[in-house]
Amino acid sequence: MYSAGRQFLQIPGPTNTPLPILAALAKPTIDHRGPEFGALGREVLEGVKEVFATEQPVVIYPASGTGAWEAALVNTLSPGDTVLMYQSGWFATLWRKMAEKLGLKVELLEGDWRSGVDAARIWAVLAEDKAHRIKAVCAVHNETSTGVTSDIAALRRAMDTTGHPALLMVDTISSLGSIDYRHDEWGVDVTVGGSQKGLMLPPGLSFNAVSQKARAAGKTARMPRSFWDWEDMIAANVNGFFPYTPATNMLQALKVALDMLREEGLPNVFSRHKRAAEATRAAVRHWGFETQCAVDAEHSPSLTAVRLPEGHSADALRAQILTNSNMPLGNGLGQLADRVFRIGHLGDFHDLMVTGTLSGVEMGLAACGIPHRAGGVDAAMRSLAGNNAPGGLLKGSAA
């Protein structure tokens, strides 16, 4: 049955793809061994460094973020190596499972899925590891399943105070291009990213930003790698090319995405995401619900996971909203299945899309008979008005 009006895709990725990027995807495919592609390759390989805030190489794969997870591990480690992983949510869990499948030993620090990586706990483990058996620390910057952002700079400082040589690997799949992130300044060795969230592209590209320390580790790493090999990529990238057929049209679209981010200005992009997140949380508070994130300073600017009261189904609410408003929302993952729904506010959006999304949620709450206090959209609008006003928040705003 035809559903009138455009779909409001408000999951935490893939995000809405802007028309200029769709137009770039639809351009004729060019020769990936020709001079036009070489120029394109050099431009995007250099331009993407700005998003990672790095002067180091960024390797681009025709893959999802899962592929970039694997690339980070196999380029730096050997079978049987120990990695320290912090289980902040579902995606941290999946990265851990991958490491185990690859034959690595995982030392796991379990979190509560409501707060970010605890740098003090990482410090304590590394301080005790006098033999330096731990070769890497893996953390998720923005946990997409929970709406919690971790302080990577604090984690780096904690690692540095121990003098431990472990590599630091960070997943930025749902924060890259949405939340301030600084690969070089924060001393990250491998940053993992994906195309389908803050970069506003469809799924299909993934990234590894790599430090000199990480590349040095690769010289002695014995994990099998061929498709994922950094050095083959970096050697070919010097002239803008790739060692195998790249995702040509996606790279054409990446150029446009980078141009759009540069034109808006990354600080403005980050502020826009924060403003949307604050408005969304204002609505959630007004409705009388909790967010999954329990620490104010760790609320994600790119998504909000909302906890429903006991006895109410988040999946039934999502189904109702999809049917009535043609608006998909993110489902709960792992231990949060059917307990939370996730509102994505990242990528290509503006204030009216935020309030439209929250209107659809509030209508869904009423239709499902879930107890709440009406007027959450008004609270969000007050928050947005305050955050758009000169000097910051207006008196009486609900942010």
State yes or no: pLDDT of 378 exceeds 80: yes
* Cα-based torsion angle of the residue sequence 323, 324, 326, 329 in order, rounded to the nearest 10 degrees: -80
Q: What is the pLDDT of residues 101-149, one digit of tens each?
A: 999 999 999 999 999 999 999 999 999 999 999 999 999 999 999 999 9
Report d(CA 338, CA 392) in Å as an integer: 37
* Integer Cα distance of 305 and 330 in angstroms: 8
| Residue 1: per-residue pLDDT | 74
Output the pLDDT for position 200. 98
DSSP 339-376: TEEEEE--SS--HHHHHHHHHHHHHHHHHHT----S-H
pLDDT at 10: 97
Kindly give, in sequence order, each residue whose CB lies less than 8 Å from that of residue 120, ignoring residues fewer than 6 positions away: 158
What mean pLDDT value characterizes the chain?
A: 96
Residues in binding site: 342
Does the global pTM surpass 0.75? yes
Annotated binding site for substrate: 342
Burial class (CB in 10 A: 0-12, 13-18, 19+), 242: buried
Q: Which of 44, 22, 53 is nearest to 179 (CA)?
A: 53
| Burial status of residue 255 (CB atoms within 10 A of its CB: 0-12, 13-18, 19 or more) | middle
* Residues with Cβ within 8 Å of residue 17, at least 6 apart in sequence: 25, 200, 201, 202, 348
Report the candidate in 26, 40, 14, 15 with the shortest Cα–Cα distance to residue 241.
Answer: 40
What is the rounded CA–CA span in Å between residue 137 and residue 265? 31
pLDDT at 2: 78
Proportion of the chain above pLDDT 90, given as a percent:
95
Give the pLDDT confidence score for residue 374 in this predicted structure. 98
Average pLDDT over residues 13-39: 98
So what's the pLDDT on residue 3? 78
Secondary structure percentages of the chain, helix, strand, coil, to 5: 45, 15, 40
Burial of 180 (0-12, 13-18, 19+ CB in 10 A): middle
> Encoding tokens for residue 193?
């990213």
CB atoms within 10 A of CB 40: 20
Mean pLDDT across 322-338: 97
| Section 363-378 average pLDDT | 98
Span between the terminal Cα atoms of the chain, in Å? 39
**DSSP-assigned letters across all residues of 202-252:** PS--EEEEE-HHHHHHHTT--S--STT-HHHHHHHHTTT--SS---HHHHH
Q: Is the dihedral of CA 216, 219, 220, 225 positive or negative?
A: positive
| 293-316 confidence digits (pLDDT tens) | 999 999 999 999 999 999 999 999
Q: Which domains does the chain have, with CATH numbers?
A: 19-262 (3.40.640.10), 266-388 (3.90.1150.10)
| Predicted local distance difference test score (pLDDT) of residue 393 | 36
Instruction: Copy the structure tokens of residue 168.
Output: 């630091």
Nearest CA among 187, 242, 191 for reference residue 49: 191
Question: b/e string for 343-360 if b means 16 or more Cβ within 10 A?
Answer: bbbbbbbebeebbbbbbb
Q: β-pairing, 105-110 with 134-140?
A: unpaired
